Amino acid sequence: MKAIIFAAGLGTRLSDETSDKPKALVEVGGKPLLARAIEKLKLGGVSEIVVNVHHFAALVIKYLQNNDFGIKINISDESEKLLDTGGGLKKASGFLSGCEPVLIYNVDIISNLDIQGLKKEHLKSGALATLTVRNRNTQRYLKFDKNRELVGWINKKTGETKISRPENFDNSIEMAFSGIHIIQIELFSLMPENDKFSIIDLYLELAKNHLIKGYFDNSDLWMDVGKPHELEEARKFFNS
């Protein structure tokens, strides 16, 4: 199984940390987030990784050149234009060809998710994509029917909705996206022609006619350390 680590973001929520380095090189417990993500994926059975870069791209490339993780790592360079999550995945597609699914992992996520368990469930369901979600408080939720099929999205603060399957939207289960997903390579042929777009918006559009599933994760460790308060909590946790 191949994987892509989304590491191109500007890290604006961590402006105190990312004024002189990319979010991927922010440290938790003395180790950059990128290193934690690579080690997590390697232990989870990933055989090859793509890292997309934009903000302080040269620093990420230099870091990967100077550190051997014992796994093949390719760079998808978005230095000229930040392509959002969908566009970033599309640009990296040349590195992700093959028969097996592709795992997508945000660099600012720290978790003990069972990656092989996610892959097994994804393959068993026959889904085009499986999105890891959790029952946690946030502003934006993905909505799933009783079969854990994606039916829409809602922003609780603004009231905005995006509806994939109207017949199941009102009675759906609301879950928060975890920044970890797995796709079949057939997804690449269903992407729009434009180079910059959101992967979540693409999932919501494809869910109208394709099977997009939710993987309800109950593991005991998940942190979005792209948020300052969670970064502080993570540093306390890993230094304890």
60 CB burial (10 A radius; 0-12, 13-18, 19+): buried
Segment 94-110, tens digit of pLDDT: 999 998 999 999 999 99
Q: Phi, psi at residue 191, to the nearest 5°?
A: -80, 150
List the domain range (segments joined by +) for residue 135: 2-238
Q: Mean pLDDT in the chain?
A: 97
pLDDT of residue 239: 87
Partnered with residue 104 across adjacent β-strands are: 4, 181
Rounded CA-CA distance 144/164 in Å is: 10
Q: What size, in residues, is the chain?
A: 240
Task: Calculate the CA 184 to chain-centre distance.
Answer: 15
Q: Which two tokens stand for residue 6?
A: 């989304």
CATH number for position 110: 3.90.550.10
Residue 206 has pLDDT above 70, yes or no: yes
Listed in order, strand segments (DSSP E) in the chain are 2-6, 27-28, 31-32, 48-53, 72-77, 102-106, 109-111, 129-134, 140-144, 150-155, 161-163, 173-183, 212-216, 222-224
Tell me the whole-structure pTM to 2 decimals.
Answer: 0.96
Which residue's structure tokens are 């603004």? 158
Segment 129-170, tens digit of pLDDT: 999 999 999 999 999 999 999 999 999 999 999 999 999 999
Look at the chain and report how many structural domains it folds into: 1
Instruction: Summarize the confidence of residues 220-227 as an average pLDDT.
Output: 96
Q: Phi, psi at residue 47, to the nearest 5°?
A: -105, -20
Q: Which two tokens stand for residue 22?
A: 């990319």
pLDDT above 90 coverage of the chain, percent: 97
